[in-house]
Structures are given as C-alpha cells and as structure tokens.
Amino acid sequence: MPSRRIVLLGPPGAGKGTQAKLIAEKTGLLHLSTGDVLRDEVARGTGLGRKAKEYMDRGDLVPDRLVIDMVSGRIAAVGGFILDGFPRTVPQAEALAATTAVELAINITLGKDEVVRRLSARRVCRRCGRIHNLLFDRPEDPSVCSSCGGELFQRDDDRAEVIENRYDVYTVATAPLVDFYRRRGVLREVDGSIGRDGLCARILELVSA
C-alpha cells in the first residue's frame, strides 16, 4: 500500500483510537494519537503536561499552540501517517496543512447519547495502562485488569458530565473541520455505529482507494 497521510475525525467515543491502531497495523502507517501523547506528558509531569491537564480534566480542548508544536515535529520525519485526535480545530488543520498535505479525512459519525454510554463505561489499568470497556471488553472482574491483574479506574475525563461537555466542545470547535476538509475534496464519512469490524473494513476500503 502506498504511503498515505490520513486524518480521523469524529466525536470522543466514536472509535478513532481503536480504528487508527487497527489501520496502522494493517498498513504500516505511523499512528499518532495526541491524546496518548498528552496523557504521557501529564503522567511524567512535564511542563506541557501540567498545562494540558488543566484543560483535559475539564473536558476542554488543549490550546492549539501546545498541540501544534508537539505534532509538527513528529510528522515531519515520516512519510505516511494516520492522525487520531489532531487536528481538532480549523486553526490546527491550517497549521497541519502548512506542514504537510492531508490526502484523506475520514469522519466517523456517532450521536451524543451513544458517546456518553460508551465512554462512561471505559476503565483504565493503573499498572499496565490497558483500556477496558464494560460494554465491549468487559473483564471477568470489572475492577481488575484482565491482562496484568492491576486495578481498573475511571479517568476524570470519562465521567458522564465531562463527556457531555467534551461532546458539546467537539460540536462547536471540531465539527467545522468537516467543512474544512469537504471544501478540499478529501472528506469521507462512515457510520460509527456499525461495529468495530465493519467500521475497520469500511475505513480500509477508503484508505486503499
């Protein structure tokens, strides 16, 4: 498969992270999740992490400048990539366009009620970091990681009230990206409710086209 430069769009809980990992495994593209990178910065207590945590804990978007500086350096040295969680605003998309041309923007659509249902059921292992979901990937004991036996906990940004705010923030700040990429002729949309395997197959069709 030729090298591709792909952006995944969609509300929190739409499956962008899961699908980006699956597509990266099948295509060899670099998967870059700004959410994972930001949480790593928070866990290590870096300057960026301390600044970002204030926004993440409220469910607000991390300011453009913090994200742009982090992402630009990482994609400059690679060919093909699939971005998950970036860009989230039109200014971020414009900054990305100044660095590299996006060839395909895939918008995964999903309603607010389903987003809240999915994300409020997410649990993270304190020991190994594996993410479980009490709806789709339920461990035998909902408080214990099925991989390492570590304690499972709910992240602050996976509480229902924060999720609702995240969705509203997405609608206002991120949804305009759909129009941004539509105007450039690279936007494709897929239904996020069709299930993981069906969604993966559909995205692979778009990536391979």
Please indicate whether residue 74 is annotated as part of the active site: no
> Cα–Cα distance between 95 and 133 in angstroms, integer?
34
Q: Where are the alpha helices (DSSP H) in the chain?
A: 16-27, 34-44, 47-58, 64-75, 90-99, 112-119, 160-169, 176-183, 196-208
> Cα–Cα distance between 56 and 159 in angstroms, integer?
12
Please indicate whether residue 155 is annotated as part of the active site: yes
Please identify which of the residues 4, 5, 39, 122 carries the catalytic annotation.
122
Q: Are 105 and 185 contacting, i.e. CB atoms less than 8 angstroms apart?
A: no
Please identify which of the residues 4, 5, 39, 88 carries the catalytic annotation.
88
Please identify which of the residues 155, 182, 184, 202 carries the catalytic annotation.
155
If one counts every other C-beta atom within 10 angstroms of the C-beta of residue 109, the result is 14
Please indicate whether residue 88 is annotated as part of the active site: yes
Please identify which of the residues 5, 118, 123, 166 carries the catalytic annotation.
166
Please identify which of the residues 16, 39, 53, 123 carries the catalytic annotation.
16
Active site residues: 16, 88, 122, 155, 166
